[in-house]
Amino acid sequence: MGLISVKAGATVVTQLELPMTMRQSDLDRVKALPLFRDASPETFRDVTAGAFLQRFPAGTTLLLEGDTVDFLYVLLDGIVELQGSWKEKDTTLAVLRPVSTFILAAVVLDADSLMSARTLERSEILMLSGQALRRTMHQDAEFACAVAHELSGCYRGLVRAVKNHKLRGGTERLANYLITQRIRQGMKDTITLPHEKRILASLLGMTPENLSRAFSSLSAQGVVVHGPEVTLTRPEALERLARPTPLIDNHMPPQSRLLGKGEVESWSDSPGYA
Amino acid sequence: MGLISVKAGATVVTQLELPMTMRQSDLDRVKALPLFRDASPETFRDVTAGAFLQRFPAGTTLLLEGDTVDFLYVLLDGIVELQGSWKEKDTTLAVLRPVSTFILAAVVLDADSLMSARTLERSEILMLSGQALRRTMHQDAEFACAVAHELSGCYRGLVRAVKNHKLRGGTERLANYLITQRIRQGMKDTITLPHEKRILASLLGMTPENLSRAFSSLSAQGVVVHGPEVTLTRPEALERLARPTPLIDNHMPPQSRLLGKGEVESWSDSPGYA
DNA sequence: GGCCCAAATTGATGAACATCAATTACCAGA
DNA sequence: TCTGGTAATTGATGTTCATCAATTTGGGCC
């Protein structure tokens, strides 16, 4: 258990690294996740049995498309990008921030991953045994329900993504992205893009060049860009163009995690877990 | 319970119709679904309590985007299309054939539907109480696990769909669609398109005009179209263009339902349930 | 400060795709 | 068999988007 194999970049590197002993505060953050919030102490103990905490440098590939999945990953600190690829191209499916789980669906089915995962920044990741998770689901109906809830939220996030892509053009997707960010960042007039523009471009399904041009075409709606700061001087005009709808755009504010249980669907940046 | 409200076309029609009494053979087909295959007799009784069978003419809207979802739908006969819309446009998310369940995710979360459902042909649909389903999940961990499995399969179907759309062009999507159909239809050289071309176009995310042109551009790869019959005279050439991969294309043959339990992910036509 | 590398922007060009219009093919009903 | 209506195809045209190339910008680092 001291020898951990990690894929870094294109090549596979084996490095000697002691699994971190978990801090209680980390455990508390995990316990606060929708997935575990209502779990009994015993269930939580079962599912975290044999779990270990691991730190990865930026740019580390945690998982390649097609890999078999042995763990449920929980991002505690840092940023993780999920991506899919085909024929030399790749596309960003989601960018995750703490605290998020990922590749839950593959773990539940004990199947290969359909996407790659890599750290964008130095990250701290908790790895829970997939086997333990599946076993616990069979033992505890409440926990299995929590998993089903989580999966339902992820599923609906992807339905939104498909509609977003098939029904809207690039500039419309960007406009809606900006409106969503504005709401999530507290309705301030100026928002901060949470990642590099080239990753945002990939998330929105366009090239960096076209993202640039989409931004400048939105200047007609009062969108002003200064590096990662974007000011929305005429939000109404932007909304008229964007036509956001709750049937596509999930405007939930980030603090929704504190809400009771009704669940607010999945979340992170753009739909998509695993 | 004799008065059932059904949305037909754009308007809402209330019609008096007796819920059908279910045939045993229908119940057997439902019981054979992955969702219910491993359910105990009691669980199956609980979840089908209060269920009723309903026949709808072609073109009936069963559910509109944004409607609250009270039932889990099980398509026993006919064809159902799931679609999403925005700003006068709409797009086909999936075309379902018997035996399929749909809008499971919305039922599990007791949330509004993110897509509309309408019959493409006269259809026979079993409607299971959403409340009963949720209650049963809490009572029976095995059943909750079955729901989680089903949702995971649906989720992965949508991951495939997103990758298909973001990474491939229209002609490539069509080429892969044809290859998938060939496998599903028993590797015969000539396949039958399972729906109208305009629906196929919407499913593949293109206009009917461009689907036509994509077909004719595939004649260079030996694709010959005669109405709904498509002959693949040079499958290898088509594959060279299509470059199918298990990480996007689900080539599972239709009979996979008979397999044990490992699950083979969701299915119907093109990923997507609800 | 000055330097380097990668990200971002801008312009020019071509490919992919949507739209509009005009036939043509096809099927169901009289 | 004719016939009306919808689906399918084909062509012409314009928009959107990707690609390539050339700068420009910006953030670490000596």
pLDDT in tens, B248-258: 999 875 445 44
**Rounded-to-integer distance, Cα B73 and Cα A54, Å:** 43
Give the confidence band of A26 by pLDDT, cuts at 50, 70, 90.
confident
CA angle B53–B266–A82, rounded 5-degree value: 140
**Rounded-to-integer distance, Cα B118 and Cα B127, Å:** 14
Judge: B155–A154 Cβ closer than 8 Å, yes or no: yes
Q: What digits encode the pLDDT tens for the residues B179-221?
A: 999 999 999 999 999 999 999 999 999 999 999 999 999 999 9
Give the confidence band of B24 by pLDDT, cuts at 50, 70, 90.
confident
Q: Rounded mean pLDDT of chain A?
A: 87
Q: What digits encode the pLDDT tens for the residues B109-128?
A: 999 999 999 999 999 999 99
Q: What are phi and psi of A207, to 5 degrees?
A: -85, 155
Spanning CA of A239 to C1' of C10, the rounded length in angstroms is 27
Q: What digits encode the pLDDT tens for the residues A85-144?
A: 999 999 999 999 998 999 999 999 999 999 999 999 999 999 999 999 999 999 999 999
Please report, for residues B58, B116, B155, B210, B215, the alpha-carbon distance to residue B197 in angstroms, rounded to integers and kept in the order given: 17, 20, 26, 11, 11
All residues at 6 or more sequence positions from B158 whose CB lies less than 8 Å from its CB, including other chains? A155, A158, A159, A161, A162, B271, B272
Judge: B165–A168 Cβ closer than 8 Å, yes or no: no
**Rounded-to-integer distance, Cα A198 and Cα A209, Å:** 9
pLDDT given at position B269:
58
Q: What digits encode the pLDDT tens for the residues B144-171?
A: 999 999 999 999 999 999 999 999 999 9
pLDDT given at position B183:
95
pLDDT given at position A144:
98
pLDDT given at position B8:
39
Q: Is the CB of residue A89 less than 8 Å from the CB of residue B167?
A: yes
Determine which of A202-211, B7-16, B236-245 has the lowest per-residue pLDDT on average: B7-16
Amino acid type, A135: R
Judge: A151–B156 Cβ closer than 8 Å, yes or no: no
Give the confidence band of A269 by pLDDT, cuts at 50, 70, 90.
low
A9 pLDDT more than 60: no
Residue in B91, B138, B167 nearest the CB of A167: B91
Q: What is the CA radius of gyration of chain A?
A: 19
List of chain A residues whose C-beta atoms are within 8 Å of the C-beta of residue B138: 141-142, 145
Give the confidence band of B19 by pLDDT, cuts at 50, 70, 90.
low
B173 pLDDT more than 70: yes
Q: Contacts for B228-233 with beta carbons within 8 Å, 24 or more apart? A: B228/B192, B228/B193, B228/B197, B229/B190, B229/B191, B229/B192, B229/B193, B230/B178, B230/B190, B230/B191, B230/B192, B230/B193, B231/B189, B231/B190, B231/B191, B232/B178, B232/B182, B232/B189, B232/B190, B232/B191, B233/B189
Kindly report the nearest CA distance between residue B45 and chain A, in angstroms. Answer: 18
pLDDT given at position A146:
97
A253 pLDDT more than 70: no
Spanning CA of A195 to C1' of D23, the rounded length in angstroms is 24
**Rounded-to-integer distance, Cα B181 and Cα B177, Å:** 6
Q: Which nucleotides of C are covered by protein (CB under 7 A)?
A: 7-12, 16-21, 25-27
Q: What digits encode the pLDDT tens for the residues B30-47?
A: 999 999 999 999 999 999
Q: Is the CB of residue B240 less than 8 Å from the CB of residue B150?
A: no
- The protein residue nearest nucleotide C16, judged by CA to C1', is B169
Instruction: Report the nucleotide nearest the CA of residue B168, measured to C1'.
Output: C16
Judge: B114–A160 Cβ closer than 8 Å, yes or no: yes
Q: What digits encode the pLDDT tens for the residues A46-76?
A: 999 989 999 999 999 999 999 999 999 999 9
Q: Rounded to two decimals, what is the model's pTM?
A: 0.89
pLDDT given at position B78:
95
Give the confidence band of A192 by pLDDT, cuts at 50, 70, 90.
very high
pLDDT given at position B267:
46
Instruction: Judge whether residue B211 contacts strand D, using its CB and a 7 Å cut-off.
Output: yes
DSSP structure string for A210-231: HHHHHHHHGGGGTEEEETTEEE
Judge: B108–A272 Cβ closer than 8 Å, yes or no: no
* Average pLDDT rounded to a whole number, residues A206-232: 97
B233 pLDDT more than 90: yes
Residue in A112, A148, A205 nearest the CB of B151: A148
**Rounded-to-integer distance, Cα A150 and Cα A143, Å:** 11
